[in-house]
Amino acid sequence: MASTVKCPFCAEEVLKEAKKCKHCGEFLDEQLRVSRTAPDGTAAVLDAIVPGLGDIKQGNIGKGISSGLAIGLGYFFFIVPGIILHLRHLKQVRNNPLIQARRAAMTPAQKEGEKARQAQTQNQKVRLLLALLIILVVTIVGIVVFAILTNQVLR
Ligand SMILES: [Zn+2]
């Protein structure tokens, strides 16, 4: 029969070798309790900047990755469709009869200027979308790489 001791936190009987009480969940191993429950300032700051990094640093890899991904995807699915819908809306504005009429009244030189301006804004929009996509991919890759590295350090 295995020897037991009283848990100093809930007074239930637990195995002498137990590092964690099965009744109240307290860490019985002093070192473990300090490292698992001490507030980690760096983790909190990291978590505020990149959601999930704090959890990952504290060893909750799965939780960190899922909350980071959830928030990243949240941004992606709200901002990117918003931009796409906005671009479509701008196209509709351009096809508005009033604007068409105004364009018809333009001199050829004015029309050329208008065309050049539109091409430029189109370019800027494409670049903006690309930049957003790159930021998203870099964030996700960063979180995953950080998770892998932290996981190895913790082992
Ligand atoms: Zn206990």
Q: Are 52 and 28 found together in one domain?
A: no
Domain hosting residue 148, numbered range: 40-154
Q: Are 143 and 72 found together in one domain?
A: yes
Q: Are 57 and 96 found together in one domain?
A: yes
Q: Which two tokens stand for residue 2?
A: 């295995």
Q: Are 115 and 64 found together in one domain?
A: yes
Q: Are 89 and 27 found together in one domain?
A: no
Q: Please give the distance, rounded to the nearest whole angstrom, from the Cα atom of residue 18 to the centre of ligand 1.
A: 11
Q: Please give the distance, rounded to the nearest whole angstrom, from the Cα atom of residue 108 to the centre of ligand 1.
A: 85
Amino acid letter for position 59: G
Q: Are 34 and 44 found together in one domain?
A: no
Q: Please give the distance, rounded to the nearest whole angstrom, from the Cα atom of residue 13 to the centre of ligand 1.
A: 8
d(CA 155, CA 147): 12
pLDDT digits (tens, 9 = 90+) for 76-123: 787 788 888 888 888 888 788 887 888 788 888 888 888 888 888 888
pTM, two decimal places: 0.34
Q: Please give the distance, rounded to the nearest whole angstrom, from the Cα atom of residue 151 to the centre of ligand 1.
A: 29
Q: Are 137 and 82 found together in one domain?
A: yes
Q: Are 58 and 46 found together in one domain?
A: yes
d(CA 110, CA 95): 18
Mean pLDDT of all residues in the chain?
Answer: 82
Split into its structural domains, the chain has a count of 2
Residue 114 region by backbone torsions, left for phi larger than 0, else alpha for psi between -120 and 50, else beta:
alpha
Q: Please give the distance, rounded to the nearest whole angstrom, from the Cα atom of residue 27 to the centre of ligand 1.
A: 8
Q: Are 7 and 62 found together in one domain?
A: no
pLDDT digits (tens, 9 = 90+) for 129-155: 898 888 888 888 888 787 777 766 655
